[in-house]
Amino acid sequence: VGAGSSKTYTLSSNWQGRLWGRKDCFENCPMAGAASPASLAEFNFKAHAGMDFYDVSFVDGFNLPMSISPINGNKQQSGDTAYSCGSPLCSAVPSCPSDLQVIEDGEVVGCQSACSKYGTDEYCCAGAFNTPQTCSTNIYSKAVKETCPQVYSFAYDDNTSTYVCQASGYTITFC
C-alpha cells in the first residue's frame, strides 16, 4: 500500500493474529511475513464476552511507527476506561541502540528486540523468567516505553498496552 493509500481486509469475527507493514517493499519482499523486526498490530477478536483485544507491539522489534483506531467502538462502562476502545499510537519509532540495529544498504531499516539479538531467558521472558512476576522491563523495553508509552514493549506489558473494544472494524495507520 503506497503513502496516502488504504487497503481493506475482511476477517472472520473470531480471528486472532498479527498485521504488519514494510517500508520500501513492493510485491516480492526479501523478508516475507512478520520477520523480526516488524512493528505489529495484534488482534484477538471476540476473545472475552464479545470484546476484541488489540495492541501495537514492539516486543519482537520494530520498523515503522503505527497506530490502531477502532471504528464505531462501544466503550466499557467499568474498569480502566483509558484502554476501552482506545487508540494506541506510536507516531515516531524510538531510537535504536547500535547493537540492535538492522542495516540494509547502509540504512537502518529496523530495530531487533533484545530477545532476538541475545536470546537470553531474561530478555525473552523464558525459563525462570516466564511469569509476570519474574519478567519485567529492561533497558531496551524502557527506552521503547519512554518514546511510545502505549506500545507493548515486553512479554508481560499487558497492564499498560492491551486495549479492549467491541467495534465494527479497526484502522491501522503506518505513520
User: Which residue range forms the structural domain that includes residue 23?
Assistant: 16-174
Residue 110 falls inside a structural domain: yes
Residue 11 maps to a domain: no
Grid cell locating 37: 523486526
Predicted model pTM:
0.89
* Nearest-angstrom CA–CA distance, 15 and 72: 19
Residue-level pLDDT at 34: 52
> What is the rounded radius of gyration, in angstroms, for the C-alpha atoms of the chain?
16
User: Is 62 within the bounds of a domain?
Assistant: yes
Q: What is the DSSP letter of 123?
A: H
Our count of domains for the chain comes to 1
Has residue 8 been placed in a domain? Answer: no
Bridge partners, residue 68, by sequence: 172
Mean pLDDT by runs of 10 across the 175 residues of the chain is 76 92 68 70 92 95 94 75 89 94 91 95 96 94 95 92 93 90
Domain of 156, CATH number, reads 2.60.110.10
Q: Is residue 32 part of a domain?
A: yes
**Structural domain contains residue 1:** no
Strands 66-71 and 16-20: unpaired
Question: In the prediction, which pLDDT does 130 show?
Answer: 96
Q: Is 60 a domain residue?
A: yes
Q: What is the pLDDT of residue 26?
A: 62
pLDDT at 32: 52
